[in-house]
Amino acid sequence: MSDVDSVLLEAVGLKKHFPIQRGFFRKTVGYVRAVDGVDLTIHEGETLGLVGESGSGKTTVGRLILRATDLTEGTIRFRRDGELVDLTRVPRSELKPYRRETSIIFQDPFSSLDPRMTVLDIVGEPLRIHGLADGDKLRERVRELLQLVGLRVQHMNRYPYAFSGGQRQRIGIARALALQPRLVVADEPVSALDVSIQAQVLNLLRSLQQRFGLAYLFISHDLAVVSHVSQRVAVMYLGGIVETAPVDALYDRPRHPYTEALLSAIPKSDPDEPRSRIILPGDIPNPANPPSGCRFHPRCRYAREVCRVERPALRDLTPGHQVACHLAEELELTGVKVQ
Ligand code: SF4
């Protein structure tokens, strides 16, 4: 199968601008450019890590891909029956087959499960909504799903409060797998868990991927976690992708100053490793009023005059490695050793 044939999802020029409304008549006075021109590709059975600080727009990208929120602009194509189908031309009312092939694992295993529902109701809900099972058949399918994620089937009549954080996240994963999706958006799936539990949940996600050929869009602010699960990584800053590459290339030799700064925050496993933390000045700017030129320039220690006036396009540097920086060829940036 060629690289093109293995594309499961292809997003081009994704934009999501939220209107800012003021006054009695709710007049639109501006837009929050949460996502402002994102291209990304996810292949069958791979994990694409999507990283960036809080406020970079990565969760909104996940929601756009799931069609949980409407696009302002752009196209999303998804492979069905061997063809890439443009989902933006499919009316909302006809998206049900697509919704069966995609699902989400949420960040917070405490708030994402309805405390009034039993595990049977929570995990079985997608099957009921799609009219795929009820009664004994539904119980049987929920039993299978609980076993898959390492939970005891005897607990299916319990409520979420009876479970630990790691167990609740397993319930969320079982629910996400109920419809046998091909693509799962995992939005910070381990960041609310204790470090000791994180590895178990990551291992579970990996083994499910191998067993079912799942593709993940793995959204996280934690580059150490992303390196353990991803084949490729895309780095987001203020609504746009600034670098994307296979995980080894991106971590060993980052080509964008923002990636370098994020990597520098990963704790060193080898005390002799010659790198120090890069502290970025200020906060991520307001997406309602982004800086001119390169959006990273007010915080970039390498910025030059051209960076203030011209927005760099995302371009191929080497095959599979894309970067949006005017100086990508000349900067010698410091990476980290991937474990
Ligand atoms: Fe820094 Fe300029 Fe590159 Fe932007 S284009 S990341 S400001 S060097």
Is any atom of ligand 1 closer than 6 Å to the C-beta of 57?
no
Tell me the pLDDT tens digit for each residue of 142-160: 999 999 999 999 999 999 9
154 near 163, Cβ under 8 Å? no
Of the candidates 8, 44, 15, the one whose C-alpha atom is nearest the C-alpha of residue 32 is: 15
b/e code 139-151 from CB counts within 10 Å (16+ = b): eebbbebbebbbb
CA distance 181 to 44: 12
Kindly give the distance from the C-alpha atom of residue 113 to the centroid of ligand 1, in angstroms, as a whole number: 42
CA distance 225 to 229: 7
Is any atom of ligand 1 closer than 6 Å to the C-beta of 31?
no
Check pLDDT > 90 for residue 1.
no
Question: CA 331 from chain center: how many Å?
Answer: 28
> 3-state DSSP call for residue 77?
strand
Tell me the pLDDT tens digit for each residue of 81-135: 888 999 988 888 888 888 899 999 988 777 889 999 999 999 999 999 998 988 9
Is any atom of ligand 1 closer than 6 Å to the C-beta of 303?
yes
Burial of 161 (0-12, 13-18, 19+ CB in 10 A): exposed
Check pLDDT > 60 for residue 2.
no
CA distance 182 to 311: 35
Tell me the pLDDT tens digit for each residue of 276-301: 899 999 889 999 999 999 999 999 99
Tell me the pLDDT tens digit for each residue of 251-266: 999 999 999 999 999 8
Rg of the chain (C-alpha set) = 21
pLDDT of residue 25: 84
Report the run of H or E that residue 263 belongs to, with start and end: helix 257-264
Match 């960040």 to its residue by tokens: 107
Check pLDDT > 80 for residue 163.
yes
How do the domains of the chain map onto residue ranges? 254-339
Kindly give the distance from the C-alpha atom of residue 104 to the centroid of ligand 1, in angstroms, as a whole number: 34
pLDDT of residue 134: 86
Kindly give the distance from the C-alpha atom of residue 316 to the centroid of ligand 1, in angstroms, as a whole number: 16
290 near 238, Cβ under 8 Å? yes
Is any atom of ligand 1 closer than 6 Å to the C-beta of 149?
no
pLDDT band at 231 (very low <50, low <70, confident <90, very high): very high
The residue among 73 and 269 whose pLDDT is bigger is 73
Candidate from 294, 308, 332 with most ligand 1 atoms within 8 A of CB, to mutate:
294
Rounded to two decimals, the pTM is: 0.93
